[in-house]
Amino acid sequence: MFMVFRSVLFFCTLLLPLWAVGLTQTLVFSEDELQGRLNDLTPIQKQTLYANLVLTDAKLNLLEKNNLIEITAFIDATVLGGFHGTGSVTVQGSLIYQNQQGAFYLDQAKLTHLHVDQMNPSVVAQLKPLVEDVMIQSLKQKPIYQLDNNDMRQALLKGTLKEITISNKQVHVTLGF
Q: Domains in the chain and their CATH numbers?
A: 33-147 (3.15.10.40)
Q: What is the pLDDT of residue 9?
A: 45
Q: What is the pLDDT of residue 22?
A: 57
Residues of the chain with confidence (pLDDT) below 70: 1-23, 153-159, 177
Q: What is the pLDDT of residue 8?
A: 46
Q: What is the pLDDT of residue 177?
A: 65
Q: What is the pLDDT of residue 5?
A: 47
Q: What is the pLDDT of residue 95?
A: 87
| Contacts made by residues 38-47, CB under 8 angstroms, sequence distance 24+ | 38/71, 38/144, 41/138, 41/139, 41/142, 41/144, 42/73, 44/73, 44/134, 44/135, 44/138, 46/130, 46/134
Q: What percent of the chain has pLDDT over 90?
A: 37
CA distance 140 to 118: 30
